[in-house]
Amino acid sequence: MATAKKLTDNHLTCVICTEVFTDPATLQCSHTFCKSCLLKYTKTQPQAIQAKSIPCPSCRQLTKVANPARPVEEWVRQLKPNHIIQSLMDDLGESSDTCNVCKEDGETTPGTVWCTICDDVFCDGCLKLHKKMPLSRDHEVIDLCIHSNEKPKAQRFMCRIHKDEKIKLFCKDCRMAICTVCCSIKHRKCDDVETIDTMTPLVKESLITETRNQEKTIETYTDNITSTNSKIERLSTNAQEMKDQVQKVRMAAVDVLLRKEKKLLDRIDQPTETRVQDLKANRKSQEIELQMHQQRYEFTDKAVTSNCVGDMYDIYETVAVASRDKDTSEDKRPVLSSIVFTHDTDKLRRSVAEVHLGEVMVVQDVSDRTSSPVLLQTIDCSREEDIWTWVDSLFDVAVLVVDGIKVTVVIDRFNSRLHACYTSNKRLIQKCLDLPAVPKQVAKVGGARVAVTLPDTKQIAFISFNTEPTQVSTVKTKKKYYGLACLNSSQLVAGGIGSRASVDVLDMKGNVLKSINTGVIKNPSYIHVTRNNNLIVSDAAVKSLVSATCDGEVVFTYTPSGDNALKYPRGVTTTSTGDILLVDRGTKRVIQLTESGQFVRDVLTQHDRLESPRGICLDDDGLLYVTSDDHVKVFTFCEG
């Protein structure tokens, strides 16, 4: 169990069976799998079998087989074994202290020595046989007990084919370390063969470079996986929130029906109760009348049956008076009425069918190049007291999350103001902060803070957000900076325009740490830092987008011509996958490029009613914000 864990921790596992490799083999794409797993997978891919190739389960790349006429089992069996992985497994696994000869016979005899030439472990019995063989009797063996029961590293670099020969040469044509025998037999026609001593420093340097590249690749994949996990968590949370919202909408609709039901029930109960009370009162009156009539009946019947003439006349007079009273009395019985409920079930069903609880859209990211933009919201940043409400006053936009609330930060150049807009209780709240000078660009600097360039006064203002935006501090700079971006937690990148145009790395006190000179950038008005810490600068002076490293090395320059030529490049940002989004104010477009500067598509055009677009940003939910005159247009992306 401990050994299996050690192998797993060192990534010596097959991604198909998720177990430790058994007989590992590597395909042409450099992905390694168990041969048995590859065989099972290949048999499920009829197209690959038809193409006489072995498909990679990871990247789908096909590996051509040496003998396509042979069965699939032989295709996989003939794959080149991965000796490096097998060696790592041997070093980390239990086989390092087990006799290799006994293992061939199915036995697990503990090994006591290791042969530096054969690279095998032997027990005491097999060592005697090893020493009796003429070809191996002079091999150097090392006692494993002296080396803490661990197999030592090879003292000599021996040929795998001619095990008694040292590796002394390297064939550059075949990229193989060989012995002199291999060179004379199999590499006679090769042109470039060097000594192993000459090649070792170069190989080591190459491997060190490869290790560093792999570290960067691992870091990139780790970041991508972390980002993906975050997205999965965010999607799950968002899904639950939407489900809760759907249930709230359903409860609201049901509440309306319940209120209607109560109203109808009340309209039944109230008149019914009134009529029941009237009928009960009438019944009581009739019961009293009934009792009186029963008494009169008994008196009358008794007078008749008694044959008493006096009693009969007394009763007779009473009966005559009662008859006259009865004739003159009014009938006070309540008027009978009925309550009728009429309904149209079909109409009700139609009405319920037309009830819209809401809509669910599958929202894509702009990185999905087949997605289509949908205008989600328009934020109006104009104010009645502003005199410049009709011009393109909004220069830049950023989005922060402050205490769980998404805040849109907008730079208003002509009114020297910063707008902070957010939604609370379904109402758009707008807070404003008057700035001491005309602002140009805004950059998030971590947490609930932004930095704003104030070129006219050679300042950078730092603003924090709580309930309202508050100017925390300002720092003086030696130049007028327009463009601004955050390089890391302690450094900014600023672009100066004019006769002293430059891109400078600043500390948080405004001091210049380094100036970046590409020889291409003339007017760095908008700057963005990519995920690789490269700088993307939009330059209206040369009508280009320039990507450069922090050392000033130009990565690419995007300067299209013809109908696609840039007229007035402005704001720039990047997506989660590294794609670049560039605003061209002159053509009223938002252009999408690859990370290497290749044109992908026009994401937004003047058909999307963009007016003088300048600033652009993406939030964590993939919503795209673009300034348009005195508005900020917010777009989401749906399946195309």
611 within domain boundaries: yes
Q: State the pLDDT at residue 7.
A: 46
**Is residue 493's pLDDT more than 50?**
yes
Claim to verify: residue 444 and residue 558 sit in the same structural domain: yes
Q: State the pLDDT at residue 154.
A: 46
Q: What is the largest CA-CA distance in the chain?
A: 164
Mean pLDDT lowest for which of 357-366, 387-396, 416-425? 387-396
Claim to verify: residue 568 and residue 607 sit in the same structural domain: yes
Q: Where are the beta strands (DSSP E) in 128-246?
A: 141-143, 169-171, 176-178, 193-195
Claim to verify: residue 414 and residue 271 sit in the same structural domain: no
User: Which helix (H) or strand (E) segment is 249 a member of?
Assistant: helix 196-306
Q: Is the dihedral of CA 463, 466, 470, 471 positive or negative?
A: negative
For residues 464 and 485, the answer to whether their CB atoms sit within 8 Å is no
Confidence at 410, pLDDT banded by 50, 70, 90: very high
Claim to verify: residue 305 and residue 261 sit in the same structural domain: yes
377 within domain boundaries: yes
Claim to verify: residue 472 and residue 569 sit in the same structural domain: yes
How deeply is 373 buried, as exposed, middle or buried, from its count of CB atoms within 10 A (0-12, 13-18, 19+)?
buried
**Is residue 605's pLDDT more than 70?**
yes
Q: State the pLDDT at residue 355.
A: 80
114 within domain boundaries: no
**pLDDT tens digits, residue range 141-153?**
888 776 554 455 5
Percent of the chain with pLDDT over 70: 88
Q: State the pLDDT at residue 434.
A: 93
**Is residue 327's pLDDT more than 60?**
no
Q: State the pLDDT at residue 96.
A: 52
Claim to verify: residue 309 and residue 432 sit in the same structural domain: no
144 within domain boundaries: no
Q: State the pLDDT at residue 335.
A: 64
Average pLDDT over residues 236-247: 88
Confidence at 499, pLDDT banded by 50, 70, 90: low
Average pLDDT over residues 87-100: 62
Distance of CA 121 to the CA centre of its chain: 51
User: Which helix (H) or strand (E) segment is 121 a member of?
Assistant: strand 120-122
β partners of residue 62: 55
Average pLDDT over residues 83-111: 69
Looking at residue 592, its amino acid is Q
For 439, other C-beta atoms within 10 Å of its C-beta total 26
**pLDDT tens digits, residue range 501-515?**
789 999 999 999 999
Return the half-sphere exposure (C-beta side, CA atoms, 13 A cut-off) of residue 634.
19
Q: State the pLDDT at residue 447.
A: 83
Closest CA to 17 of 39, 33, 2: 33
Q: Average pLDDT of the chain? A: 84
DSSP conformation class of 365: P
Average pLDDT over residues 107-127: 83
**Is residue 637's pLDDT more than 70?**
yes
What count of residues does the chain have?
640
**pLDDT tens digits, residue range 39-72?**
888 888 888 888 888 888 888 888 888 778 888 8
**pLDDT tens digits, residue range 190-239?**
888 899 889 988 888 988 988 888 888 888 888 888 888 888 888 888 88
224 within domain boundaries: no
For residues 544 and 557, the answer to whether their CB atoms sit within 8 Å is yes
Claim to verify: residue 331 and residue 372 sit in the same structural domain: no
Distance (Å, rounded) from C-alpha 539 to C-alpha 526? Answer: 8
Claim to verify: residue 341 and residue 449 sit in the same structural domain: no
Q: State the pLDDT at residue 94.
A: 46
Claim to verify: residue 338 and residue 371 sit in the same structural domain: no
Distance (Å, rounded) from C-alpha 635 to C-alpha 373? Answer: 6
Closest CA to 111 of 123, 102, 96, 94: 123
Claim to verify: residue 367 and residue 320 sit in the same structural domain: no
Confidence at 76, pLDDT banded by 50, 70, 90: confident
Looking at residue 9, its amino acid is D
Cα angle value 601/606/607 (rounded, 5°): 90
Integer angstrom CA distances of residue 624 from 365, 545, 575, 617, 632 = 9, 20, 10, 6, 10
Of residues 82 and 540, the one with the higher pLDDT is 540
**Is residue 299's pLDDT more than 90?**
no
Q: Is the dihedral of CA 292, 293, 294, 296 positive or negative?
A: positive
Q: State the pLDDT at residue 324.
A: 60
For residues 597 and 555, the answer to whether their CB atoms sit within 8 Å is yes
Claim to verify: residue 576 and residue 617 sit in the same structural domain: yes
Cβ neighbours for 395, distance < 8 A, ≥ 6 positions apart: 411, 412, 413, 439, 440, 441, 614, 615, 627
CATH number at residue 373: 2.120.10.30
The token pair that represents 313 in the structure block? 């006349």
Domain finish residue from 35, 60, 92: 92
The token pair that represents 53 in the structure block? 């190739």
Domain finish residue from 92, 115, 140: 92
β partners of residue 527: 537
Claim to verify: residue 535 and residue 630 sit in the same structural domain: yes
The β-bridge relationship of strands 631-638 and 372-380 is: antiparallel
Provide the domain limits for residue 448.
Answer: 363-383+391-638
Average pLDDT over residues 103-120: 79
How deeply is 580 buried, as exposed, middle or buried, from its count of CB atoms within 10 A (0-12, 13-18, 19+)?
buried
For residues 557 and 520, the answer to whether their CB atoms sit within 8 Å is yes
Of residues 556 and 391, the one with the higher pLDDT is 556
**Is residue 305's pLDDT more than 60?**
yes
**Is residue 528's pLDDT more than 90?**
yes
Distance (Å, rounded) from C-alpha 296 to C-alpha 291? Answer: 9
Q: Domains in the chain: how many in total? A: 3
